[in-house]
Structure 1
Amino acid sequence: MKKQDGINIIDRIVTNRNLWRAYQKVKEYGGAPGVDGITVHELKSHMRKYFEPLKMKLKDETYQPQPVNN
């Protein structure tokens, strides 16, 4: 991801605080399972397990989201 004024934007997005705030919002609104089938109830433990690898994949641009199947 491109730098803007010397700041890598992805570094600002994938902060621990920001990702956990996103989780809280999903939980508050009772979000539906995603394409991976993970429920809001399962999401917290999933995030704890994959949080750091996910951040690294986002930062090094190797994250590949799963396609959405209708």
Structure 2
Amino acid sequence: MLACVLERTNLQRALKQVRQNKGAPGIDGMTVDVLPQYLKQHWPRIRSELLAGTYRPSAVHRVEIPKPDGRMRALGIPTALDRFIQQAIA
């Protein structure tokens, strides 16, 4: 299963989807526009951690947005890298 997740075509699809979705930066401040360059530099380590089962997602960036009724809705925004990995698994 993990081999399918880490196939190049699946990873390219996941990256394309994350970039199309945009989204706010997570706790690390990395935008989706910076993600491809980050992956070029760090992919061997990330891949190894995923295969070894030692990869751990980062904490989410907690924000609150107003709901139409005036109450606040809590959101947890994952990092761009974690969104990429989630998309590859989905």
Q: How does 1:1-70 map to 2 (within 5 A)?
A: 9-70=1-62
Structure 2: unaligned runs, 5 residues or longer: 63-90
Taking structure 2 as the reference length, the TM-score comes to 0.60
Q: Which has the larger radius of gyration?
A: 2
CA distance in 2, matches of 1:35, 1:44: 18
Shift of 1:29: 2.3
Question: Normalized per residue, which structure has more strand?
Answer: 2
Q: 1:15-49 CA deviation, whole Å, 9 max, x = no partner?
A: 22212211111112223222321101111100111
Q: Point out which structure has higher relative CO (alpha carbons under 8 A, 6+ apart).
A: 2
Unpaired runs of 5+ residues, structure 1, are: 1-8
* Runs of 4+ residues deviating >6 angstroms: none
Number of equivalenced pairs: 62
Identical aligned pairs, as a percentage? 31
Rate the CA distance shift 1:69–1:33 in 2: closer, same or farther, 3 A. Answer: closer
Give 1:69 shift. Answer: 4.1
RMSD: 1.5
